[in-house]
Each structure stands twice: as structure tokens, then as C-alpha cells.
Amino acid sequence: MSLKIKVPLVVTLLVVLSAAAVGYFLISHEQNTLQEELSRRGQLLVQQLAGIDPASFNAIATEAERIRLTDSLELSSSYFENERVIRTFLTEALGSPHVLHAAFFDWDGFPVLYLDAARLTELEEVSEDDSAGESFSLLQHPDSIPSVLAEPDDGFTYVAPILARSDTLGFAQIRIDPGVLERAISDALMNVLPILAGILGASILLSLLFSMLFTVPVSKLKSHALALSKGELAARVKVRSRDELGVLGRVFNKMAHNLQRTYDELSEKLIEVRRLFKMATEDGLTGLYVKQYFLELLSGELRRSIRYDRPLSFFMCDIDHFKRVNDTYGHQAGDAVLRSVARRLSAATREGIDVIGRYGGEEFAVMLPEMDAGTAWQVAERLRNAVSAEPISLAEVEGVNVSEITVTISIGTTTIREETSVERLIAVADRALYMSKENGRNRSTVLAMER
């Protein structure tokens, strides 16, 4: 068998095997990625479902237990009001893609409320009739609910406890359609097969057209192209001929050169964009966020907290008698004080979670996501003590006759308890700060938001 026949056969076989391997790994990767995404979404959905009002759920679970023990479906007048409080959690969960059912179980694992597509349709129909909607309930006799806690164990059922402090009041369950994964893999396979067939046909055609004369230069060109695709932008082909392969080599080298130049230009622009972004969002003196950007972050976090019914605490901090520092020691000393206070506030808060901004001249604002009022007051005290615990060095400030001074801060703190606006949140914290100033400074004041 001649080399002209062997080369096409070998190349064709290698291409087919490589394409099959790539197809297999692509499908496997797609399967693993989708499985992880479904698991992540299932865990997120069930955690959101478990975030219902504990008091309302406890009342419904108690009513369900009474029905199970007495075999009576007569519901108390307060039951429907409690169910309406948490019914939206079930409908929102079922409205997510590929969710088969959402259910609640009591502390003993008995079903309490169950909602699937059929029940959701029935719920939407009766909701159009106000009189029927007032008495319609998702509560059924436990034996009639086709759901078992945490079963089947196939990786598509997710359960989360419903907690009230350290007590488990019950469980929330989300069931995702297992057929989603099978359909996705089937679609991926149908997409890969035409590609594999195309690769096979192209490899046979190209292998028959090219002979041993072109095998070596094409192989070198291929190796350089692979190196370029992996980010080795300095890869170049040695051009020795004036034929089509030589033209291809010169085109490749020009493309690689253009890619290198474009990459260098983009790198320079990226550095400039990062520099401009830092200038626009960070205070040049303290390194904290500027007021405008901080308020944008606060607005986004406030919307998230309200949407998911999560706590959000907010501080307004002010350096006590800061004007006296500037008047006595000069503005350079005042700048040193601002930098030191900013560093101490940053060190005393949670890195990557809490956000600090320079709100005004000597005012700082602190945003603390996922923090309730009790914990927020403890953190406020920690911030206050962090500032006043040690003197601030002025040794490197020219024209100052003292080596160090001690400053204090006053803090006003509040925590959202209901839907509110950024302006109202800041106003309440600012009023709490004013109370700290009025009561002698160097103190933290908590002011609850009025309902």
C-alpha cells in the first residue's frame, strides 16, 4: 500500500477517533455542567421555599396534624389567612423552569401542603372567583398527597429545614424533572453527530487531496496554529516556499502578528479602564468607595434584601470634633486621621461582604448585608472601639508638634424591617447619628425604622 493511500487512511482514522473523543468529552462535560446547574438551582429554590414565615407555617402544620389525627377536614377561620401568607412561595417555586412539584412537610415528615402543575391550574382558576378563592386551600388529607419526604433519592429532589431559631418546624421540598437531563444530553448528541459526520467527510476529502509532499509543512503549520490557539502569540511559521503553502504560512504569520498587536492594545486599554474605574469609584484619600458609587451598591443590596426578606443594617459614622483637628494641627493631619480611620473601619468589618464608603468630609457610611439589629449594634461598638483604641500617629506629618492624637467616632445604626427606600434608610441612620452626637459623642445609637 502506497504512502499516498496510507496517509489519508491514517489521517482519517485519527480525525475520526479525535472527533469521537472530543464529542464524548463535550457531552460528558455538558452532562456534568447541567447536573451541577440543576443541583445548584434546586438547592437555591428549596432554600428560598424554606424561608417562609415560621409562625404561619407552624399554624398550618398544627392544623394539618389535627386533621391527620381527627380525620376531619374542617378548617379554622385563621387557617386560610396563614395559608395565603405562604402560598406565594409554592407558586413562585413551581413557576421556575422544570420544577415538578413543591411541598411542605411537618416536623414528623407528614405532608402539609403540596402544589404541582395540576393543582396550580386549579388554584389559578379559583383565584379568578373571589368567593371561591377565600375558602380554597392546598391542604389535603396526608394520604392523598403523592409525595414522600426526600424520596426518590435520584438527585432531583431537594429538601431544606424550616427553622425558627434552633427548632425545626418542618421541611420544604422541591422536585425537579429528571427528564430535563436526558433531553439535554439527547439534544447535545444530535448536535454533535452532524459535526462528527462533517469532520469525517472533510477529513476523507482533504486526505485524498493532499500527499506526502504537503504532510510535513501542513503538520508544522498545524502545530503552530494549535500553539497560537492556546495563547502562544509569539508562534511563527518559517516560510521557505513561494507556493500556496508559502502564502498560507505568510498569512498565518501576519494573523499571529495582528493578534499580538491587538492583544497588547487591549491589555493597555484594560489597564486604563481599570485605572479610570478606580478613579471614578474610589476616594483618592481613603481608598474607600465614593458616595455616588456607594449609594448605587446600597440601592442594589436594599432591593435584594427586600426581595428575599433578608436583614440589612446600615451605619452612619462621623469623626468627633474633626474640625478641631484641622484647626489645631492642619489639614495634612486631618488627612492622616481620615486615612487611619478608614483603615480601622475596613479592618473591623467583614472583608468581601460589608461595604464602606466615604459619605462626606469626615462622614463614613457602612452597609452590612445579612446582619440583624442585635448583631449590628455589636459591630458598631467594635468599630467605635477600633477607632479609639489606639492613638493615630502624626509623626510623618510636617509642621505638627505632637507625634500622635486620639480621635473617636459617633455611630448611628438602623436595620430594615420592611420595604423602604435608600433615602429613608439613610435618614433614619443619620437621625441616630445625630442622637449619638447630642448624647455626648463617642457612642453608638440604634434607631429602629418606624413602620
* Pairing, β 99-106 against β 363-369: unpaired
Residue type, 181: L
> For residue range 285-302, what is the model confidence (pLDDT) as tens digits?
999 999 999 999 999 999
Nearest alpha carbon to residue 225 among 207, 206, 252, 250: 252
> For residue range 348-389, what is the model confidence (pLDDT) as tens digits?
999 999 999 999 899 999 999 999 999 999 999 999 999 999
Among 23-37, 65-79, 430-444, the least confident range: 65-79
Average pLDDT for residues 71-91, to the nearest whole number? 76
377 close to 368: Cβ distance less than 8 angstroms? no
CATH 3.30.70.270 assigned to domain 291-446? The reply is yes
pLDDT at position 211: 55
* Residue listed under C-alpha cell 396526608: 142
CA 422 to chain centre: 22
Average pLDDT for residues 33-49, to the nearest whole number? 86
Report residue 412's pLDDT band, with 50, 70 and 90 as the boundaries.
very high
Query: Percent of the chain, pLDDT > 70?
Result: 83
CATH hierarchy code of domain 50-177: 3.30.450
For the ranges 15-24, 27-36, 91-100, 256-265, the one whose mean pLDDT is highest: 91-100
Nearest alpha carbon to residue 448 among 412, 409, 411: 412
Residue type, 190: M
pLDDT at position 130: 54
> For residue range 416-439, what is the model confidence (pLDDT) as tens digits?
978 899 999 999 999 999 999 999
Number of separate helices (H) and strands (E) present in the chain: 13, 11
Is 450 considered catalytic here?
no
SS3 label, residue 352: coil
- Cell of residue 219, nine digits: 503538520
> For residue range 139-151, what is the model confidence (pLDDT) as tens digits?
765 566 666 776 6
* Pairing, β 409-415 against β 444-446: parallel
From CA 346, how far away is CA 412, in angstroms rounded?
17
The residue ranking higher by pLDDT, 411 or 19, is 411
Q: Give the active site residue among 362, 370, 398, 404.
A: 362
Q: What are phi and psi of 154, to 5 degrees?
A: -115, 10
Residues 6 or more apart in contact with residue 21 via CB below 8 angstroms = none
Residue 387 vs residues 24, 309, 319: alpha-carbon distances, Å: 59, 32, 9
CA 139 to chain centre: 34
pLDDT at position 435: 96
From CA 305, how far away is CA 371, in angstroms rounded?
10
From CA 61, how far away is CA 336, in angstroms rounded?
59
**Whether this model's pTM surpasses 0.85:** no
From CA 402, how far away is CA 93, in angstroms rounded?
64
388 close to 409: Cβ distance less than 8 angstroms? yes
Average pLDDT for residues 324-345, to the nearest whole number? 93
Where helices occur in 50-127 by DSSP H, the ranges are 54-70, 77-94, 117-127
- Cell of residue 91, nine digits: 407558586
> How do the domains of the chain map onto residue ranges?
50-177, 211-278, 291-446
3 close to 145: Cβ distance less than 8 angstroms? no
Residue type, 412: G
180 close to 98: Cβ distance less than 8 angstroms? yes
Average pLDDT for residues 160-177, to the nearest whole number? 88
User: Within 10 A of 412 (CB to CB), how many other CB atoms are there?
Assistant: 26
pLDDT at position 3: 44
pLDDT at position 42: 85
> For residue range 198-214, what is the model confidence (pLDDT) as tens digits?
776 776 676 666 555 55
